[in-house]
Amino acid sequence: MKFWKIFCALFLLTGLCQAKTLVFNPSDAYQLQEALSQLNSGDEVIFESGKYRLSQGLRISGLSNVSFRCRGRVELLVSDLDSAVIALEQCERIRLEGFRARHVTPAKNYQCEGAVVRLSRCRDILVAGNELNGCGAAGVYAQDSKGIIVYKNRIFNNTFAGVWVNSSQVTIHKNRIYKNASAVITYGDCEISLTENRIEDNQGNIFTSTSYFKEVVDH
């Protein structure tokens, strides 16, 4: 199955890296962005449990083979509603795992606010085991990206869509997607694999396409 080939390749490639490990605590929240701007490809970033209160979301650009993971319950809380909680740009082979991410005061209706996780011009990104809760236009927004895997997340209460795909190739597998304005929305030329998800109680359609897409499968 195509999903598992991508999934295994992603883990193999990240596992080959030799680099430093950075560990953060909630008391480091004020300097997180500065520290992340010093990351090198191949590094590992660990967030210790607790609430990380941020005025702006975390922005990562131009990196490859980096793992971001959590020890215990980690909450990322962002004040700026127009800022994505986590934004990756021009990154490759990145893992985002185990976060509970949202804006501090979510909008009640869609108003072009930031996504929870935003991926722009990225390749081979794994978004797995996260809780992407009601904080933005979309739980995951992928634009001009390929090889994106959205796996075993809880994605809910987003004002536009649980997953919003714009001219990208995305695998959406074994997630719970619920209580969003819509479960999945696509724009542009997209390739979507939608498999074994639990999709329920969304306000709009399960899948809304305003684009050409190559494949949609759910079984």
Kindly report, residue by residue over 95-112, the tens digit of the pLDDT. 999 999 998 876 666 665
77/63 Cα distance (integer angstroms): 23
Average confidence (pLDDT) over 108-135: 87
DSSP state string for 38-55: T--TT-EEEEEEEEEEES
Arithmetic mean of pLDDT over the chain = 87
Residues contacting 18, CB < 8 A, separation 6+: 42
N-terminal to C-terminal alpha carbon distance within the chain:
13
Q: Is the pLDDT of residue 85 over 70?
A: yes
Give the domains, in start order, of the chain with CATH numbers. 21-106+119-209 (2.160.20.10)
pLDDT for residue 213? 47
User: Distance (Å, rounded) from C-alpha 144 to C-alpha 122?
Assistant: 7
pLDDT on residue 207: 65
Our measurement of the distance from residue 200's CA atom to the centroid of its chain's CA atoms, rounded to an integer in Å, reads 20
| pLDDT reading at 41 higher than 80 | yes
Cβ pair 100, 73 in contact under 8 A: yes
Rounded Cα gap, residues 202 and 141, in angstroms: 17
The SS3 call for residue 93 is: strand
Of 82 and 127, the one with more pLDDT:
127
CB atoms within 10 A of CB 120: 18
Q: Is pLDDT of 3 > 60?
A: no
Q: Which amino acid is at 166?
A: N
Q: Where are the alpha helices (DSSP H) in the chain?
A: 2-15, 32-36
**Report field, pTM of the whole predicted structure over 0.85:** yes
Please state the φ and ψ torsions of residue 4, each to the nearest 5 degrees: -70, -30
Confidence of residue 191 (pLDDT cuts 50, 70, 90): very high
Instruction: Identify the top-confidence range among 23-27, 105-109, 184-188, 203-207.
Output: 23-27
Task: Quickly count: other Cβ atoms within 10 Å of residue 34's Cβ.
Answer: 9
